[in-house]
Structure 1
Amino acid sequence: MKDFLKMDGVDPHALAEKLTRSGVEIASTVHPMDGLSKLVVGHILTCEKIEGTHLNKTTVDVGEDEPRQIVCGAPNVAAGQDVIVALPGAHLPGGKIKKGKIRGVQSDGMICGLQELGFADGVVPPKYADGIWVFHDPDLKAGMPVFEALGMDDYVLDFDITPNRADTSSMEGAAFEVGALIDQKPKIEEVSVQADGPDWTGDFTAVADEKIAPKYYLRKVTGVKIGESPLWLQRRLWNANIRPINNVVDATNYVMLLTGQPMHAYDARMFADTKKIEVRLAKEGEKLELLNEKLIDLDPQDIVITDGEKPFGLAGVMGGFNSEVKDDTTDVILEAAIFDPALTRKAALRHDNRTDASALFEKGINWDATQKSIDICSLLLKENADATIDEGTLKATDTVKAEKVITTTASRTNKILGTDLSMDQIVEIFHKLNFGITTNGDEYTVTVPNRRWDIFIDADLFEEVGRIYGYDNIKSTHPETGELAGGYTEEETKVRHLRNLVEGQGLSETINYSLTSEEMATTFVKKPLAKVMVNWPLNSARTTMRQNLICSLLDTAAYNFARKQNELQIFENGRVYDMEGGDYHEHEHLAAMYVGLAGQSNWQHQDEKIDFYYVKGQLEDLLEMAGVKADVEYKAEAIKGMHPTRTAAIYIDGKYVGLIGQIAPILTMTDKNFLGKEIYVYELNLDEILPLMNKGVKSKPAPKYPAVERDLSILVDQDVTDASVEAEIKDNAGKYLVQVDVIDVYEGAHLPKGKKSLAYRLTFLNEKDTLTDAVVTKAMDQVQAALEEKLSATIR
C-alpha cells in the first residue's frame, strides 16, 4: 500500500476498522513479527558432518566478536550461506531457544527454516520446504535482524472480499479504496516497454473466438534464465499467501496481485511446430493433463488454449502440464486475457479445480488492465530473469468496453440515503473515488471507470456516497410509513410450538443442507415423487433437493459418530421438495432421530436402551401435547431405507402423515461409524399435522369421583395388532372408558402355536357420579364379546 499512498501516521488497526465500516471487511490485521525476538542474519563460516548422524556442526558469524557453534540437521546447510539464526533466548512460535548439547556437541542457537518462524508450509518455496532458508541478498550483513528482509516488520491487512467488490482483489483496486477513505489519490504509474528484441508477431498466429475470449493478448520474451525471484518479490508473494516458485511464475503471480489480471506463461517450445495459439471450445473426447498432473476429460463447454491442434491449457483455470515453464526454458510466451466468466466458473466446478485465476475471472476483471499487465510482466522478466522483450503485442481479440455513464440527482440521493448532502459534498466524494462527475443544477452525471465493474445503476452510486460519507454519520430516523404489526402467522406459531415441545423432550435441534444425493433424496419416502435436480451441483453428494429430512439427520449422525459422540437424540424442522403434475412443491416436515440410551448412564438406575416402542411413546406424547385429538394408527409397511420388521406408517383419520421405525442396517454397513448402532427415527408431514393441532391446552381440576380399573387378559393370533384390539375396546367399552394401557405381552412356552397373550388395564371414570360395579361389569362384558366375535380372542 505504501507504493501507492502516503501511509505515514495511518494506524493499521484504525484503517482496518474504517474499511470494514465502509463495506470491505478486514478479516484480520497481523504484524508477523509480533512475539518473535532475537532472530538475526548469520553467515555460515564452516560446516562439518557429525559422524554417525545426519547432523552438521557449523560455526556461524552472527555479528558478534566471536562466531557461534550451532548444530543443524537441515539437508541443505552449507558453508558460505547467509541464513536465519535464532540466538539463545530467542522466542519462536514453537518456544524459547536455549543453549544446549545435541549428541554431545555444544549448540549455541538454531539455524531456522521459514516454518520455524511461523510461515505456513504452503508459502515456503519448494527449494527450502524441507530445510533452512538461505538468503541471496548481498546487502544483508551478519547480525542484522531478519524481520525487514523477510517482510515480517510490516502490517498485513487481510481483505475478506465479497463477490460484488472483486475490484479490491488487486493491490491497485485496494489502493483506490483506501485512498478514498483517507482522502488521497493513489499514485498509479504508467508502464512503458522498450522492446530490445525483434518483432515476433509476423511469424506467429493467435486466433480466438470473441464470444469466449473478448480480449486475448500475447507477448514473447527470450533468453530467460530460470532462477529464484529477488527477495522483495518473494516476500510480497508469501505475505499474500502465495508460494514463490521461480522468477517466471512469480512474475505472473505478482502481476495478478498488482492489477487483478491473471497471467500465464507458456514454454514457447510447445508451439514451435505450429507457431500458433488458438482459443476455442474443447471437442468431444479431448483430454488434458493439468499443471497439478490431474488428467481431465474435457467438456464441449470448456474453453481451451491449443497450438491449433491439441489443447495445452484450460483457459482461465490452469495451464497444461506439458506447457509449464521448466528449468531449461529460455523462451516464454506471456498470456493476458479476459475469458467468459460463466464458462470459466463452470469449468472450474466441473473439474473440481478452482484456482485464484478462475475466482478472479468469474467475479470480473478490469478490462483496461490487460495491456498494462502483460507489459509489467515482461519488464519483471527483463529485470529478474535477464530476458529480452521481443517487439510487439499479438492481439487475437481486443474488444473495447465503454465506461458506464449514470445520471441521477442529489435530491434522490439524499432521499434514498436519508441524508442532507449538498452537491459539493457529493462531488467531493466522487473525486475521492476518482470517478468523473459533471453537474447541472440538481442533476449530476458520473462516469464510472472500468476498474469498478460492480456499478451499473444509480442505486450503486448512492451506495458509494453512503460508504465514503460514512454510515455512522447518517442520522437515524423513523420511517415515514405506517406501522406494521409484527408477529407470526398461525402456521408459524404452531411450528414453533412443536419445536419447543420436541426440545422439551430433550432433543437437540439441527440445521442441514436441503441438498442431498439423488439416491438419498427419495429414500425413507413411502411414495417418491419426481426429483428436483440441481443444474450445477457442488459435488455428487449435493445434486438433488431432499424429499425427506431423515437423510439430513443421518449426515449429522455420521459427523457425530466420527467424533465418538454415540448417544444422540436430535431433530430437524425444515422443508422438503418435490415435483408433481409439472409443478414444484415445498412441504414442512419434522423428523427426529434416537441412538443409544434413553437417558444418561447412572449408577442409580438401570440403563434403558432406545427401541421402537420408546420412540413411539415419545411421538405419542408429542402429538398429545400438541393437541392432536384425531385417531392415530400405526401400520406395519415396507418403506425404502427402513427396517423391514421394525417400521410403521403413521395414519391419522386414514391419511398417511409420516413414518416411524429403525433405519435399515444395510444402509449403514458401508460406514464403519454406523456399525453396531440401532438408529430409530420418525418423520411427520406437518402440512397434514398442523390443521389438526388445537389451540393451547386447558387445565381442569382433578376428578371428584374415583376411577375404576379392570384388567383384561386375552389370547389372540400372532398377526392381530395391538391397535386393532384397542380399537375394539374403545368402540365397545362405553362412554366412561378414559384410558387403555398394555400391561403385558407374552409369546412362547405354554401357549398354543401361533398365539400370543395380551393383557390390558382399562380405566373407567364418571366425572359427575360414582361408578358402580354393574356399569363397569356391563362395559367389560361388551368388550369381551366384541373381542371374541371380531378378533376370535379367547378371554383368559
Structure 2
Amino acid sequence: MLVSFNWLKDFLNLDEQDPKALGEKITRTGVEIASVTRPADGLKKLVVGHVVDCEGVEGTHLHLTHVDVGEDEPLQIVCGAPNVAAGEDVIVALHGARIAGNEKIKKGKIRGMESYGMICGLQEIGFSDSVVPKKYADGIFVFPKDADVKPGQDVYDALGMNDYILDFDITPNRADTLSMEGSAYEVGAIIDQKPKIEPVVLKEDGPDWTDSFDVKVDEKLAPKFYLRKLTGVKVDESPLWMQTRLWNAGIRPINNVVDVTNYIMLLTGQPMHAYDARAFESGKFEVRTAKDGEKLTLLNEKEVDLDPHDIVITDGEKPVMMAGVMGGLNSEVTDDTTDVILESAIFDPTMVRRAAFRHANRTEASSRYEKGVNWDATEKSINAAALLIRNEAGATVDEGIIKATDAKRGPVVVKTTVSYINKVLGTKISADEMLHIFDRLNFDAKVNGDELVVNVPNRRWDIAIPADLVEEVGRLYGYDNLKSTQPLLPETHGGYSEFETQMRRFKRIAEGQGMLEAVSYSLTSPEKAVSFTKKAKALVQVQMPLNSSRSTMRQNLMTGLVDAASYNFARKQMDLRLYEQGRVYDHEGGTFNEHEHLAALYAGQTFAENWQHENQKIDFYFVKGQLTNMFTALGINENDVIYKADEAIPGMHPTRTADIYIKDQYVGMIGMLAHSLALADKNLRGHEVYGYELDLDVIIPMLTHGMTAKPAPKFPAISRDLSILVKKEYTNQEIENVIKANAGKYLRDLKVIDVYSGAHIEPDKKSLAYNLTFLNEKDTLTDEVVTKAMDQVTAALKEDIEAKIR
C-alpha cells in the first residue's frame, strides 16, 4: 500500500513529523516501510506553461508552439506530441531542467527550428506507465480546466510530486493498513494521536428506486451486499486533486465515476464497483456461482472461461462481473453513461482469492478481499462514493439503499491478564500503561484487578487471542525497551578487512569467467623475478637458497603461471585459463615491500573443441574483453581505462603488448608472451600464450562501487528482425542512431546480424540486417506496442537515410 504523507495529514497532525523518521518509527512497531520516496526528487525547472499558439510543421509530425511560462515573452518550443494544442496548460521543462533519468534539457534546434524547452508527458517526468491516464499515454499531459495553475509556477504541488510516499510492505495479517483510514489509526497509535475520521452525511435528492429491482444474493457468497443508484451522471475526467491521490497510490485515473470507487477503496479499504445501469434493464440483479460454459469479457478486454467456483454478478441471465475481482466490459461506465449503480459488498475471501489466481487476474480489489475487509465500512463506503459522484459528476442520488444481505459482525472480545502480558514480554508494565496503549489503538479496554478485557473493533480482524494483545502491547511499548535476557559471553569477531574483501571480489569475478586458480612459488630465479615488469625494482634475495632457481622473491605472478603452462603443455593440456592472486616483493627504498597482484594466463581455444562450432583461437582481443568485463563488474568505467602499446616489457611480445592505465595511473600490462621465451622452453614452442597482470594495491583504492545487480525480468522480451538497403556512405552507427531514436523506451538490445554487398544489389549500396529486442520490465509487452515501435523505426529510416525496407 502506497500511503501519501499529505493525505495522512487529513487525519493527523504531522506538522512536526519528518516523513523518513516517521517511516522508521512505523517499521519499528511491526509494519515495515519498504521505502519513503518523494516523486519530485531529482527534478528541477519544471513549470506550468500555457500554449499560446500551435501550428503544424508541414511534412512532419511536429508542431511549432509558443508557450507562456510566466516570463516576459512566450518561449518557442517544438513539440511532436499529437495532442498539443493552443489554449492548453501543460508541463514545460525549461532550458537546464532535469527530468526523469537525470536527463538534462537544453535549448537546441529541431529541423532547423529553435526550441527553448520541452513540453512533457507524465512518463518523461518520472510517472510509471501504469498510472498515466490513457488519454495522455502517447502524448503530453494537459492540466484539467479545474486545475488551479498559472504559467510559470512549479508543477510539483499541482501534480502531487512534493508529497512523500510511504510504501507499507504489509504482511497478510495487517491488511487493515490497506486503507488510508486504517493507516491513520496505525500511525496515530504510534505517535499517540487520535485520527480524525469524519462521518459521511449524504442527502438523497432523487426518488426511491429500491422497488424497481429484484435482487437475489446467496448469503454464503456475499454476506453483505449493498446497492445504490445515481442518475444524471456526467462522465468526465476527475478533478486533479483526486487524480494525484490515485496515481500516488499506484492507480491509473479513468473517469470521475470509476476514480471515485477507487478513491473510496483507498480511503476505507472497501472495494467498490460502479455499473452502467443500462446493463440491468431486466430489472434483475443476482449474485451466484458461474455455470459451466459461461464466459465473461473483463474490463481489461480479457475473455475468461468462468469456473463453477467463481462468484459472478448477473443481470438475471448473463454475468456482468467476476465478483471481487473485476467488472465486465458489458457493464462498463463509459462517456455516454448517465445512470450508475454502485455496489459495496463483502464476498467470500477464499473464493475471490482462488478466482483471481485461477484466471491470473489479481487486482487491488481481490488482494483486499482475500486478506480481509472491514465489515463496518460497507455502508459508509457506498454513501461516501455516492456523495463524491454527486459533487464531481453532477449526479442525483436516488433515495434508499438495497441491502440484499446484511450479516452483522460484532466486536471481538479478548480476555487476558496484565501479568500474562508482562510474563511473555519480560516487562513490568503497569495496568494503567496498558490501558493507555489500547486507548492509543482506539480499543475499548477495561482492567479488573489483574484481568484485562479488550473489545477489538471490526477494523482489526487480525486480533482474536491473548497472544495478539501481547504483540500489540509489545510493539507500541517499544521493542527497544524490552530488556535482553540473553547471557552475555565473550566473543571473538572474525571477518575480512575492506581490502581483503575487495581482493576476493577480483577472485570471484575471475572464477566466474571460467578461470582456474593456480598457486605458485614465491621464490624464483633473479632473471624470472624481474620478467614481465615494466620497471624492475631492487630484489629481495634469500641468504641461503636451496638452489639457484629459488633464490629470489618474485616481483610478478606471471612467471609462476608460465611455469604452470609449460607443465600442462607437457601433459597435452592445451586449453588453459589460469589465474593467481598473490603477493610480489621488492626492496625498493631500503625497505622490504609487499604488494598484492592478480595475474591471468590464457592459451588454446576460446571454447573446448566440439563438432557444433568452429574452433577459434584465443587472441589479444579475447583476453582484453575478459579484462574489460572484470573492470565493468568492479564498477570501473571503461572510459577511464586506456591501453598503450609497450615494446619493452621483458618476456612479452613487442607488438602485441600494452600497458594498462586507469585514470592516467599505471596499473599493469596485457599481451602475448614473446617468441624468444617460447623458443627457450620446448614445452611452450608452437603455443600462443596471452595474459595480463594487475597491481591491486593501485586499483583497489580506486574502487568506489561495484556492479549493481537486479533480478532477471519477470516479463518476456519480444525480438524483431529488420533488413534494410542503404547507400554505402551511411555507417552502422548512423543507422543505429536512427533506430534507437525512434524505437521507443522499450528497446533493450540492438545488434547487427548480417551485412551484404555484392552482385545482387546496386554497387553503391549495402544490405544490413538487425535484430531488435524489446522488453518492458514492469508489464507484459504486447505485439501491438512492438509493431507500433517498428513502424516508427521503418518510417524514420525511410525519411532520414532513404533506406529501403526489405
Global fold match (TM > 0.5): yes
Q: Contact 2:147/2:239 (CA < 8 Å) preserved in 1? A: no
Give the aligned partner of residue 213 of structure 2.
204
* Counterparts of 1:609 and 1:447, CA distance in 2: 76
Give the aligned partner of residue 187 of structure 1.
196
| Deviation (angstroms), 1:603 | 4.1
Give the secondary structure class of the aligned counterpart of 1:216.
Answer: strand
Alignment of 1:32-431 (within 5 A): 32-94=39-101, 95-136=103-144, 137=146, 139-272=148-281, 274-431=282-439
| Deviation (angstroms), 1:285 | 1.9
Q: Contact 1:220/1:334 (CA < 8 Å) preserved in 2? A: yes
Going from structure 1 to structure 2, the CA distance change for 1:608 and 1:79 (only over 3 Å counts) comes to: closer
Structure 1 residue identity aligned to 2:236: G
* Counterparts of 2:239 and 2:465, CA distance in 1: 44
Alignment of 1:662-741 (within 5 A): none
Going from structure 1 to structure 2, the CA distance change for 1:429 and 1:77 (only over 3 Å counts) comes to: same
* Counterparts of 1:196 and 1:475, CA distance in 2: 61
Q: Contact 1:437/1:447 (CA < 8 Å) preserved in 2? A: yes
Q: Contact 1:113/1:131 (CA < 8 Å) preserved in 2? A: yes
Give the secondary structure class of the aligned counterpart of 1:167.
Answer: helix
Give the secondary structure class of the aligned counterpart of 1:213.
Answer: coil
Which of 9, 24, 28 is residue 35 of structure 2 equivalent to? 28
Q: Does 1:3 align with 2:19?
A: no
Give the secondary structure class of the aligned counterpart of 1:38.
Answer: strand
| Deviation (angstroms), 1:355 | 0.9
Q: Contact 1:599/1:608 (CA < 8 Å) preserved in 2? A: no
| Deviation (angstroms), 1:294 | 1.7
* Counterparts of 1:360 and 1:600, CA distance in 2: 56
Going from structure 1 to structure 2, the CA distance change for 1:609 and 1:465 (only over 3 Å counts) comes to: farther
Q: Contact 1:598/1:610 (CA < 8 Å) preserved in 2? A: no
Q: Contact 1:251/1:380 (CA < 8 Å) preserved in 2? A: yes
Give the secondary structure class of the aligned counterpart of 2:447.
Answer: strand
Alignment of 1:431-510 (within 5 A): 431-478=439-486
Give the secondary structure class of the aligned counterpart of 2:151.
Answer: coil
Structure 2 residue identity aligned to 1:185: K
Structure 1 residue identity aligned to 2:202: V
**Deviations, residues 599-621 of structure 1 (Å, cap 9, x unaligned):** 8597446776699xxxxxxxxxx
Q: Contact 2:23/2:166 (CA < 8 Å) preserved in 1? A: yes
* Counterparts of 1:121 and 1:141, CA distance in 2: 26
Give the aligned partner of residue 585 of structure 2.
none
Which of 16, 21, 40 is residue 23 of structure 2 equivalent to? 16
**Deviations, residues 50-83 of structure 1 (Å, cap 9, x unaligned):** 1221111111111111111111111001111111
Give the aligned partner of residue 804 of structure 2.
none
Going from structure 1 to structure 2, the CA distance change for 1:398 and 1:605 (only over 3 Å counts) comes to: same
* Counterparts of 2:341 and 2:330, CA distance in 1: 14
* Counterparts of 2:90 and 2:300, CA distance in 1: 31
* Counterparts of 1:244 and 1:437, CA distance in 2: 42
Q: Contact 2:42/2:99 (CA < 8 Å) preserved in 1? A: yes
**Deviations, residues 20-60 of structure 1 (Å, cap 9, x unaligned):** 11111111100111111111111111111112211111111
TM-score, normalised on structure 1?
0.61
Structure 2 residue identity aligned to 1:284: D
Going from structure 1 to structure 2, the CA distance change for 1:362 and 1:138 (only over 3 Å counts) comes to: closer
Structure 1 residue identity aligned to 2:43: L
Give the aligned partner of residue 551 of structure 1.
none
Between 1:261-270 and 1:84-93, the stretch displaced more is 84-93
* Counterparts of 2:41 and 2:604, CA distance in 1: 55
Give the secondary structure class of the aligned counterpart of 1:17.
Answer: helix
Structure 2 residue identity aligned to 1:229: S
Structure 1 residue identity aligned to 2:452: Y
* Counterparts of 2:303 and 2:68, CA distance in 1: 49
Going from structure 1 to structure 2, the CA distance change for 1:9 and 1:297 (only over 3 Å counts) comes to: same
**Deviations, residues 126-174 of structure 1 (Å, cap 9, x unaligned):** 0111111111235211111110000001111111111010000100000
Give the secondary structure class of the aligned counterpart of 1:135.
Answer: coil
Q: Contact 1:598/1:609 (CA < 8 Å) preserved in 2? A: no
Q: Contact 1:74/1:131 (CA < 8 Å) preserved in 2? A: yes
**Deviations, residues 200-232 of structure 1 (Å, cap 9, x unaligned):** 001112211111100000000011111000000
The CA RMSD measured in Å over matched residues stands at 2.3
Give the secondary structure class of the aligned counterpart of 2:337.
Answer: coil
Give the secondary structure class of the aligned counterpart of 1:51.
Answer: coil
* Counterparts of 2:603 and 2:575, CA distance in 1: 14
* Counterparts of 1:361 and 1:77, CA distance in 2: 41
Following TM superposition, the consecutive aligned residue runs of length 4 or more in structure 1 with deviations greater than 6 angstroms are none
Q: Contact 1:206/1:395 (CA < 8 Å) preserved in 2? A: no
* Counterparts of 1:608 and 1:400, CA distance in 2: 73
* Counterparts of 2:295 and 2:133, CA distance in 1: 30
Q: Contact 2:147/2:240 (CA < 8 Å) preserved in 1? A: no
Q: Contact 2:575/2:603 (CA < 8 Å) preserved in 1? A: no
Structure 1 residue identity aligned to 2:98: H
Which 5+ residue runs of structure 2 have no aligned equivalent?
1-7, 490-507, 514-573, 579-600, 612-806
**Deviations, residues 289-343 of structure 1 (Å, cap 9, x unaligned):** 2112222221111111011111111100111110111111100000000000111
Q: Contact 2:576/2:603 (CA < 8 Å) preserved in 1? A: no
* Counterparts of 1:598 and 1:17, CA distance in 2: 55
* Counterparts of 2:56 and 2:115, CA distance in 1: 14
Give the aligned partner of residue 488 of structure 1.
none
**Deviations, residues 368-419 of structure 1 (Å, cap 9, x unaligned):** 0000000111011101111110000001100000110011101000001111
Give the secondary structure class of the aligned counterpart of 1:134.
Answer: coil
TM-score, normalised on structure 2?
0.60
